[in-house]
Amino acid sequence: MNLHEYQAKDILKGFGVPIPPGEVATTPEQAKALAEKYGTAVMVKAQVHAGGRGKAGGVKFCKTPADAFEKATAILGMQIKGLTVEKVLVTVAADIGSEAYVGIIVDRARKKPVFMVSAAGGIDIEQVAAETPEKIKYHPVDVRYGLQTYEAMQLGFFLYQDVKLARAAAKIMQQLYAAFMASGCSLAEINPLVVTPTGEVLAVDGKMVIDDNELDRKPAVAALRDESSEEPSEVDARNNNLTFIKLDGDVGCVVNGAGLAMATMDLVKYYGGEPANFLDIGGSSNPEKVVNALRIITADTNVKAILFNIFGGITRTDDVANGIVTATKANPLKVPLVIRLTGTNEEIAMKILTENGFSASSDMDEAVQKAVALAKGGK
């Protein structure tokens, strides 16, 4: 789950990271009032889950409250990478002497959180990594011990020669690490970390991505989810414990397991079709999930055929069969349905389906080819 800049900054502030004052506005009037309150130049920054806000014109410097009003008017309602800007962050504009990058990600290979720091901040760290990799220092953290002061100081000295700045940066890195761990992040970054002309070290932008698996035990973090900034069908799916990603094709797919779901999409394409979505009903199944999956898929008017591909392990195929029966009884389908189903409790499932007038195959290639053909209006 992505957090907005203002949310990430609120968390970081709670861990002691120095951040310029700022508040959220949803109207130009509010933005103007905040600029007046701060009595200094401000930045007005679009709060959307998209990178490249600056390039898209979503981040503006405002000298006066009137200026803030004007810029907020322009930014609010703007579209950035398909997302509508509903909120702006109005924040005191910091004097910027230098810009550094500080980030933490969970690294698969090292099996640890890894710091990435670079004195070349303010821009895409991916670009720095690609063009001048020597400007990035990577530092894995052993979570059994946490980030020690000496490690933070090594990172601080990588950014700054001056010991005062290095110490300030080291402290911020320890605070960032604490926030990262406490919030259940998979990524947390400060970009840019700024040194002002007076020698203050400040976090001018902040980003956090939360591991979705943490949300159940971190209700305060979970409450930060902003559903207004996401695809409604994906929100609906998530709220029903389904993993759903909308795509542009016409073959609706309901699969259990991410690997098989991807392989199913691949096979749809292999046989000349286009998947309409990725949908994983997950491991432990219950009929309700199937009902919700069908509701979400059929809401997409592009869908011309629906393909179930279920290989029962922990998922019981009889649960899936029951779900199909229940869902189609309540809301009869308007598009053809192809069912492929095998594995745990397959016999029971087949019986349920047959008794309710459905046919099902146990062969994946056969089912996919059939669904692709049906979507094309064939058969």
Partner 1 sequence: MSVFINKDTKLVVQGITGRDGSFHTKQMMEYGTQVVAGVTPGKGGQTFESTVPIYNTVADAVSATGANTAVIYVPPPFAADAIMEAADSGVQLVVCITEGVPVLDMTKVYPFVKERGIRLIGPNCPGLISPGESKVGIIPGRICTPGPVGVVSRSGTLTYEIVYQLTRAGIGQTSCVGIGGDPINGTNFIDCLAAFEADPHTKAVAMMGEIGGTDEQEAADFVKHHMTKPVVGFIAGQTAPPGRRMGHAGAIISGSAGTAAEKIEAFEAAGMGVAKRPLDFVELIKARLK
One character per residue 16-55, x = contact with partner 1 (rule: CB under 8 A): ----------------------------------------
The correct pick among 99, 250, 280, 319 for binding partner 1 (CB under 8 A) is 280
Q: Quick one: 163 or 330, whose CB is closer to partner 1?
A: 163
CA 100, CA 95: separation in Å to the nearest integer?
Answer: 14
Tell me which DSSP letter residue 116 carries.
E
Mark whether 200 is an active-site residue: no
CA 305, CA 251: separation in Å to the nearest integer?
Answer: 5
Mark whether 189 is an active-site residue: yes
Smallest distance from partner 1 to CB 180, Å: 9
Q: Is 211 in the site for partner 1 (CB under 8 A)?
A: yes
Tell me which DSSP letter residue 97 carries.
S
Tell me which DSSP letter residue 334 carries.
S
Q: Is 166 in the site for partner 1 (CB under 8 A)?
A: yes
The correct pick among 43, 59, 265, 353 for binding partner 1 (CB under 8 A) is 265
Residue keyed to tokens 């598009």: 335
CA 287, CA 299: separation in Å to the nearest integer?
Answer: 19
Q: Is 116 in the site for partner 1 (CB under 8 A)?
A: no
Q: Identity (one letter) of the amino acid at 179?
A: A
Q: Quick one: 57 or 283, whose CB is closer to partner 1?
A: 283
What backbone torsions phi and psi does residue 79 show, to the nearest 5 degrees?
A: -100, 125
CA 157, CA 30: separation in Å to the nearest integer?
Answer: 41
Smallest distance from partner 1 to CB 342, Å: 7
The correct pick among 79, 84, 163, 299 for binding partner 1 (CB under 8 A) is 163
**Which residues does residue 85 pair with via DSSP β-bridges, in sequence order?**
none
Q: Is 221 in the site for partner 1 (CB under 8 A)?
A: no
Q: Is 142 in the site for partner 1 (CB under 8 A)?
A: yes
CA 321, CA 328: separation in Å to the nearest integer?
Answer: 11
Q: Which of residues 319-348 bind partner 1 (CB under 8 A)?
A: 342-344
Q: Is 213 in the site for partner 1 (CB under 8 A)?
A: yes
Q: Is 247 in the site for partner 1 (CB under 8 A)?
A: yes
The correct pick among 79, 84, 124, 258 for binding partner 1 (CB under 8 A) is 258
Q: Is 137 in the site for partner 1 (CB under 8 A)?
A: no
CA 240, CA 141: separation in Å to the nearest integer?
Answer: 35
Distances (CA, A) of 351 to 14, 286, 325, 327, 342: 57, 18, 12, 17, 12
Smallest distance from partner 1 to CB 265, Å: 5
Smallest distance from partner 1 to CB 143, Å: 5
Longest Cα–Cα distance in the chain: 78
How many CA atoms lie within 13 Å of 77's alpha carbon, on the beta-carbon side? 7
What backbone torsions phi and psi does residue 49 show, to the nearest 5 degrees?
A: -85, 70
Smallest distance from partner 1 to CB 181, Å: 6
- Write down the catalytic residue from 101, 151, 160, 177: 101
Q: Is 260 in the site for partner 1 (CB under 8 A)?
A: yes
Residue 319: how many CB atoms within 10 A of its CB? 24
Q: Is 373 in the site for partner 1 (CB under 8 A)?
A: no
CA 163, CA 118: separation in Å to the nearest integer?
Answer: 17
H or E element at residue 68: helix 65-75
Non-local (6+) Cβ contacts of 34 within 8 A are 23, 25, 42, 68, 90
Q: Is 361 in the site for partner 1 (CB under 8 A)?
A: no
Q: Quick one: 198 or 213, whose CB is closer to partner 1?
A: 213
The correct pick among 13, 137, 238, 269 for binding partner 1 (CB under 8 A) is 269
- Write down the catalytic residue from 5, 151, 189, 346: 189
Q: Is 78 in the site for partner 1 (CB under 8 A)?
A: no
Sign of CA dihedral 125, 129, 130, 134: positive
Interface residue list for partner 1 (CB under 8 A): 106, 108-109, 111-113, 126, 129, 142-145, 148-151, 153-154, 157, 163-164, 166-167, 181, 184-186, 211, 213-214, 216-217, 243, 245, 247, 255-263, 265-270, 275, 278, 280, 282-284, 310-316, 342-344, 364-365
Would you name the residues annotated as active-site residues? 101, 189
